[in-house]
Structure formats: structure tokens, C-alpha cells
Amino acid sequence: MTTLTFTLTAELDGHHAADVADDLAIDADAGDLDQALTNVLRQHLRNVGDARDWRVVAAHVWPAGEEPTP
């Protein structure tokens, strides 16, 4: 299995942006965004027509600074 680690940055704007950012951090910490990220990766690979032998086994989202250490 191969692991790819990358950084995702989301910029939010609006009157309640800070509150929404806090909620997203809570969701990420709880693992609620893991399946959404897995779906994004799968859909992207489908969209570019990648027919090689691959499968996304899992994806994990952590708030910045809370990533597990290897």
C-alpha cells in the first residue's frame, strides 16, 4: 500500500466564517470528513478516466497541528 500525504487549505469568508471553521475542525477531528475526502479522490480519478488498477482504501482528515506522528 502507498500513502500520500498532502495539505488541504480552505478559506472561508462571511460573517460566520470563524464559527463554521470551528465546526469543520470539530468534524475533521471526529472523522466526519474522511468519507467525503475518499469520495473526492475516487471521483477525481474517475473523471480523468484513470483505468489502472487502483483503489482508495481510506482517507483521513485532521485539523492542522493535530496530524498523528508516524
* pLDDT tens by residue, 7-60: 888 899 999 999 999 999 999 999 999 999 999 998 998 899 888 898 888 899
The contacts of residue 59 (CB under 8 Å, 6+ apart) are 34, 37, 38, 41
Residue 23 lies in a domain: yes
Grid coordinates in use for 43? 471521483
* Residue numbers of the domain that contains 45: 15-62
Residue-level length of the chain: 70
Domains in the chain, number: 1
pLDDT at 69 over 90: no
Instruction: Output the pLDDT for position 19.
Output: 97
The backbone torsions φ and ψ at residue 28, rounded to the nearest 5 degrees and listed phi first, read -65, -45
Residue 53 lies in a domain: yes
